[in-house]
Chain A
Amino acid sequence: MRMTRTAPGAVRIPAIVRPAARHVWPTLLKITTAVVVLVWLFPVYWIVLTSLKPVREINSKVPVFRFSPTLDNYRDLFVRFGFAKVLTNSIVVTVVSSLVVMVIAILAAYALARMRVPGEKHVALWILSLRFIPVIAVGIPFYLEWQQLQLLDTWLGLILVYIAFNLPFAIWLLRGFLGDVPFELDEAALLDGLSRLQIIRKIVLPVALPGIASTAIFTFVFTWNEYLMALLLTSVDAVTVPVTIAKFIMPYTILWGDLSAAVVIQLVPMLIVVFLLQRHIVRGMTLGAVK
């Protein structure tokens, strides 16, 4: 038997495992991981490929992998379908509603996590239960109300709906994250002369940044991808990207080129956000899970 030196003075005796078996599991794991990643990435690859193909090649019966790439689909999207307006709608609605949600959710979650709120536990559960409601169940009532208030097909109408939908989940998530920030930090800051709002801004937020980043991403992604309410409440002026993409599927044809280009454009902001905040998301997940 061979002795392996692991550290000066320490001798590790390797466990008796058959050499073949030792390599089988890691290899199997790697293969499985590769297959899963491929299955998930293939549609993305295919949609990017399609967005760069000339229309003739897209509609070819045999899939074509070799072609001369073109930006015609993207040009078509912006010139013929006025995609710039749609993109602006999506960006404004998502950014504004996410910002408002985060501000309100941070204040509400701080109050629930730190202050003596009467019936605090019930309030927290009640807030979360709002998220259990199927979106479609409130779709028609919202439509009727928005019609009365003349909010149909407006940014404000959509922003208000997304705030209402995202707030409960954001408060619930943030309550856990802010609750993990040690209580004594608030008290030390209180003795240092900071006001409650200063404590939230200068102490609690920076410490809970990973949790706040992951909550912000959840809110952003949900709003950016939301389809059903946008379909119900918009028609021309405030139409968002997901609704427009769906419109490329027509009764007698599907505009694959424009559809693919729009999907790629929709993917880009999310990829940027996720890549930038990836570290925080992972830390945020564990921050909430492991005390």
Chain B
Amino acid sequence: MALSLQGVEKVYSTGFKALNSLCLEVGNGEFFTLLGPSGCGKTTTLRIIAGLETPSKGKVFIGGRDCTHTHPRNRDVAMVFQSYALYPHMSVRENLVLNLRVRRLAQSEIDQRLREVSRMLGIEQLLMHKPGQLSGGQRQRVALGRSLIRRPNIFLMDEPLSNLDLKLRERTRTELKKLHERLQITTVYVTHDQAEALVLSDRIGIMNGGDLMQVGTPQEIYERPSSTFVAKFVGSPSINLLPVTARDSEGGLMLCLGRDGLDIGETALPATQEVLVQARKTDRLVLGIRPESVALRHAPAPGTIPAVIEIVEPMGSVNHLIIRFDGMAEPTIDGEPFVAVVRSNERFERGAVVWLTLRPDRLVLFDAATGMALAALSDAGTWRCV
């Protein structure tokens, strides 16, 4: 295991608790992303791994070695800062080789690594420039190069793309992915941008309020979120969270929308015994439906729900439709509008009455009281416990 955090807590002198008993393991060569809203503790976690902060409790193991109180320079970790933190008075070349000079590497070794990294990142022409003379994208490459040239055990990145414009960010994201696939250096990446996390990561850890809410592959996080918070945070447009009630029906689970008792789906979907037991315990459930799992029809059919298209948002290849249900001011539990995603060649006009069905994939059932996931619909179309 390249990195292991065991019960790490951080309480600041002001009494603010930034991390609650965090446990985390990152494998060799893995690209692990900490994703969460501002102030959730992801940067604090990264700084604790780097040694820039000391945990109030718990241990940090790097390469199997207890590094909880090891000085940052002895941890063999390199970090790319959000602001890049390039030394403004030094040339790009000096920025890149400072660490190697401090470690007293042979000049021939320094030159060889410098050539290698500058070629890899396409910054050979910039070596004599000062950081102030570079564009945002070039600075980002130099910051990356400064970390790469060290050949560290672990690569830490604190929102390294957030200062770039959208187009450059997407391009750099792809380059980062290529670079990681080529070098296979263990990477811990911090971001609040879920698209970055989904594209880059082998695994993602979702954080909120100092807690690690869920760890999993991008696919797992997207399809089987462990709570309404995770479900809401990942995916764009956001998941629709509908208040539902459930009743048993011939060994299956029949879901009814809101107080009106509108049946969702034509037939009850089979559920495991465990799910049925759980569902019986509570009458307040929340159904999570990804916007792309909503199917719309122009004509009524059994088991469909009538609705009106309020707004059409063309996004190029797809359209986002904001949908209002008849007689329901706020169909979702969080007051957000109900969104469906359809291909842009499907003709749905603003104000049109449509009939809505839910595709039995990517559906998740949550306990309304705790917000925790109860069951997810498996590929076989059966509700299974998460």
Contacts and interface: CB of A to CB of B under 8 A. Distances in A.
Interface of A: 116, 182, 184-185, 187-194, 198, 203, 206-207, 209
B85 A190 contact: no
A187 to B, nearest CB: 5
B83 A182 contact: yes
Nearest to A181: B88
Interface string B10-26: 00010000000000000
B50 A191 contact: yes
Given A187-B72, A191-B79, A198-B102, 9 more contacts: A187-B79, A187-B81, A188-B86, A188-B87, A191-B50, A192-B73, A192-B102, A194-B73, A206-B89
A188 B85 contact: yes
Contacts of B87: 185, 188-189, 203, 207
Contacts of B98: 189, 192, 194
Given A191-B73, A191-B79, A193-B73, A184 B89 contact: no
A193 B102 contact: yes
Given A190-B52, A191-B78, A193-B102, A184 B83 contact: yes
Contact of A190 (B72, B83, B86): B72
B72 A182 contact: no
Contacts of B13: 116
Interface of B: 13, 50-52, 72-73, 77-79, 81-83, 85-89, 98-99, 102-103, 146
A191 B87 CA distance: 13
Contacts of A209: 89
A203 B102 CA distance: 13
Contacts of A185: 85, 87
Contacts, number: 53
Which 7 residue pairs of A and B lie closest in terms of their CB atoms, listed nearest first?
A184-B85, A193-B73, A188-B85, A193-B102, A206-B89, A192-B99, A184-B81
Contact of B85 (A116, A182, A198): A182
Nearest to A198: B102
A224 B85 CA distance: 39
Given A184-B81, A193-B73, A207 B102 contact: no
Contacts of B102: 192-194, 198
Contacts of B72: 187, 190-191
Contact of A207 (B51, B83, B89, B146): B89
B147 to A, nearest CB: 9
A206 B98 CA distance: 15
A92 to B, nearest CB: 32
B182 to A, nearest CB: 23
Contacts of B88: 207
Contacts of A203: 87
B219 to A, nearest CB: 33
B85 A187 contact: yes
A21 to B, nearest CB: 41
A39 to B, nearest CB: 40
Tell me which of B83, B85, B146 has the highest count of chain A C-beta atoms within 10 A of its own C-beta.
B85
A194 B102 CA distance: 7
A193 B98 CA distance: 9
24 contacts: A182-B83, A182-B85, A184-B81, A184-B83, A185-B85, A187-B50, A188-B81, A188-B85, A188-B87, A189-B98, A190-B73, A191-B50, A191-B51, A191-B72, A191-B73, A191-B78, A192-B73, A192-B98, A192-B102, A193-B102, A194-B73, A194-B98, A194-B102, A207-B89
A193 B81 contact: no
Contacts of A191: 50-52, 72-73, 77-79
A194 B101 CA distance: 10
Contacts of B78: 191
A187 B73 CA distance: 10
B155 to A, nearest CB: 12
A207 B86 CA distance: 11
A287 to B, nearest CB: 13
A185 B73 CA distance: 14
A289 B41 CA distance: 33
A206 B99 CA distance: 18
A182 B83 CA distance: 9
A203 B85 CA distance: 11
A189 B72 CA distance: 10
B85 A193 contact: no
A188 B79 contact: yes
A185 B52 CA distance: 12
Contacts of B81: 184, 187-188
Nearest to A188: B85
A207 B88 CA distance: 7
Nearest to A187: B52
A195 to B, nearest CB: 8
A52 to B, nearest CB: 44
Nearest to B50: A191
A191 to B, nearest CB: 5
Contacts of A190: 52, 72-73
B103 A193 contact: yes
B236 to A, nearest CB: 30
Contacts of A184: 81-83, 85
A207 B130 CA distance: 13
Tell me which of A185, A188, A193, A209 has the highest count of chain B C-beta atoms within 10 A of its own C-beta.
A188
